Structure 1
Amino acid sequence: MWFKNLRIYRFSRPCELNEESLEKALAEFAFTPCGSQDRQQLGWVAPLGRHGHTLLHAASGNLLLCMRREERVLPSAVVKEALDSKVAEIEEAQGRPVPRKEQQTLKEEIEMQLLPRAFTRSQKTFAYVSPQENLLIVDASSAGKADELVSLLRKTVGSLPVVPLASNTNPAACMTDWVKNGPMPTGFSLLEEAELRDTQEDGGVIRCKQQDLTSDEIFAHLEAGKMVTKLAVDWRERLTCLLEQELVIKRLKFNDLLREESGNSDDVDAAAKFDADFLLMCGELANFIPELLEALGGEQSDDTE
């Protein structure tokens, strides 16, 4: 259980969620597969999959949950082919053109006929609530997936007073200063990947990989006014990640030695390994997130918004 992305939300007031009440609330919105006419379904499933039965996994006060999204796959090309065939049949039989409005109605009817036979695909999105840190952390690469989970959780518990985590200083300005002027904040070091973007609306974008970011070439781009909008960093040789200007963490990777601390999967059962991984991850992030905020000038408060 190791997150690969972090979208972090701060509770605007002390988190009141607890294991008992949240488990009960999740049960009301447990996942059910798509019916014959459902385009998609959202709901909560057991985070441990087949190794668990509860919709909530709790460890050291942290509450892990998992949203499953299932949708029916109905390719537009298939619908168009069926629609074209139907339109041609009507035109030939009745000797008249089929107007746009009627075609739209036919399209909807065709989709309803095809839906029961359409394949389904599903995705899982994990998140955990840390009442002690007053945070909600979602493992989602896109804002849309994170918003979907947050919306479902808000619907599930009735009220979810969270806002995206924000720093006092613009992360892009901080990252630009780190690369251009140095030094890196304590505990952080540069890796060899970054994105540089012109501040003009239609400005250029430079993506660097396996590139010495302290080189004269990079410095020249920064002197010309480009900003660092994505930056790969290492934190205390415990984890690496790609920090983005929206204070989003992507491509999060924990040190192999750290991952081995939870024990070899051959030595422990899957549920115990999952639990140990989750505990270790939460512990690391509880230290990493405050240090990241400090490196970015501290967390934005109501007074600094």
Structure 2
Amino acid sequence: MFLFKNLQLYRLPAPWAFTPEQMELALQAQAFSPAGSSEVERQGWDKPRPNGGLVHVVNKQMLIVLGKEKKLLPATVVNQVAKARAAEMEEAQGFAPGKKAMKDLKERVHDELLPRAFAIRSDTRCWIDPVNGWLVVDAASPTKADEVIKMLLKAIDRMPVESLRVQNSPVGMMTSWLQEDDAPAGFTVDMDTELRATGESKAAVRYVRHTLPADEVGRHIAAGKQCTRLAMTWDSKISFVLTETLAIKTVKALDVIKENEAATRNDDERFDGDFMLMTGELAKMLADITEALGGFAAA
């Protein structure tokens, strides 16, 4: 039901006065189009909804999508074809092609096969909350999120986006919540966690869908391990995993939210309803997580 599964978090000034119309105009110069016959990869902004614009807006919340197309041409295939061509050349001219000739041959084979290569399409969604000052990329890795941010910075001159910074260390706070068996107000600690040593050994222990025995966890912490991942539930509505880098992973709406979903008549209404519900609840959850970590760090 939730459109986003992983949250890479960034901050914007709140409120941010950039309008959806301004955003639409800014993104048009980098609108997505399929990779050409001689291109390995191409990315650009695509429509979040069929027959819509590049910016989808619901209740002042903006949704944009970075589309990417990448052609698959394994080096083993290129090498295999080049090897066969080299054998033909050797038979025709009486000697094998040299190192430079072989390199040129592989490049020619690559260029020849590229137009027929299979293309893989992927989309990365980005939610912009100009009211509360959030920019959230649905990506499991920071590298994937960086692609979106770099494209946005190209599209919008001097876009005031920053990484989320908080007063207290996520690792320190998660370790404290485990050690004291005391989750912050509005949250509960669930059954997944990772504890990792800070020394050279990098020793780690992970509990997966496992009750966290206080004495056992306490021994690991006493031995110098700190919590780097912690599964939690917010307000009995959303479960997630908080990481040491402030990424929020495995976001899942719980039954209490699903039961309150309104019946809708068509796909567009259902999509907008899901997006409005998700952004409304996540904005409140992100505010509570920030508060639990001591609030925003001073600039």
TM range (shorter): over 0.9
Task: After superposing the two structures, state which structure 1 stretch, 118-127 or 14-23, moved more.
Answer: 14-23
Task: After superposing the two structures, state which structure 1 stretch, 209-218 or 132-141, moved more.
Answer: 209-218
Distance in 2 (alpha carbons) for counterparts of 1:167 and 1:101? 54
Residue equivalent to 1:290: 287
Residue equivalent to 1:301: 298
Residue equivalent to 2:33: 32
Matches within 5 A, 1:141-152: 141-152=140-151
The structural deviation recorded for 1:14 is: 5.9
The structural deviation recorded for 1:287 is: 0.8
Distance in 1 (alpha carbons) for counterparts of 2:268 and 2:159? 29
Matches within 5 A, 1:19-58: 19-48=20-49, 50=50, 52-58=51-57
Matches within 5 A, 1:193-272: 193-264=192-263, 267-272=264-269
The structural deviation recorded for 1:93 is: 3.6
Distance in 2 (alpha carbons) for counterparts of 1:12 and 1:93? 68
The structural deviation recorded for 1:214 is: 3.6
Q: Is the 8 A contact 1:174 1:296 kept in 2?
A: yes
Distance in 2 (alpha carbons) for counterparts of 1:28 and 1:205? 47
Three-state SS of the structure 1 residue aligned to 2:185 is coil
The structural deviation recorded for 1:68 is: 0.8
Residues 193-221 of structure 1: per-residue CA shift (max 9 Å, x gap): 01111112342122211222243222211
Matches within 5 A, 1:114-193: 114-193=113-192
Distance in 1 (alpha carbons) for counterparts of 2:86 and 2:172? 57
The structural deviation recorded for 1:12 is: 5.8
Distance in 1 (alpha carbons) for counterparts of 2:293 and 2:197? 21
Q: Is the 8 A contact 2:236 2:256 kept in 1?
A: no
Distance in 1 (alpha carbons) for counterparts of 2:187 and 2:132? 22
Residue equivalent to 2:80: 81
Three-state SS of the structure 1 residue aligned to 2:104 is helix
The structural deviation recorded for 1:91 is: 3.7
Over 3 Å counting, the alpha-carbon distance change for 1:202 and 1:92 in structure 2 is farther
Task: After superposing the two structures, state which structure 1 stretch, 151-160 or 84-93, moved more.
Answer: 84-93
Residue equivalent to 1:17: 18
Distance in 2 (alpha carbons) for counterparts of 1:61 and 1:114? 46
Q: Is the 8 A contact 1:67 1:124 kept in 2?
A: yes
Distance in 1 (alpha carbons) for counterparts of 2:14 and 2:59? 21
Task: After superposing the two structures, state which structure 1 stretch, 98-107 or 127-136, moved more.
Answer: 98-107
Distance in 2 (alpha carbons) for counterparts of 1:36 and 1:85? 24
Residues 222-266 of structure 1: per-residue CA shift (max 9 Å, x gap): 1111111011001110100011000000000012331343323xx
Over 3 Å counting, the alpha-carbon distance change for 1:104 and 1:284 in structure 2 is same
1:291 partner letter: D
1:126 partner letter: R
Over 3 Å counting, the alpha-carbon distance change for 1:99 and 1:16 in structure 2 is farther
Distance in 2 (alpha carbons) for counterparts of 1:245 and 1:115? 41
Q: Name the TM-score, length of structure 1 as normaliser.
A: 0.92
Residue equivalent to 2:108: 109
Distance in 2 (alpha carbons) for counterparts of 1:284 and 1:47? 21
Structure 2 gaps, min length 5: none
RMSD of the TM alignment (CA)?
1.8
1:199 partner letter: T
The share of aligned pairs that are identical, in percent, is: 36
Task: After superposing the two structures, state which structure 1 stretch, 251-260 or 167-176, moved more.
Answer: 251-260
Count of aligned pairs between the two proteins: 298
Q: Is the 8 A contact 2:181 2:214 kept in 1?
A: no
1:297 partner letter: G
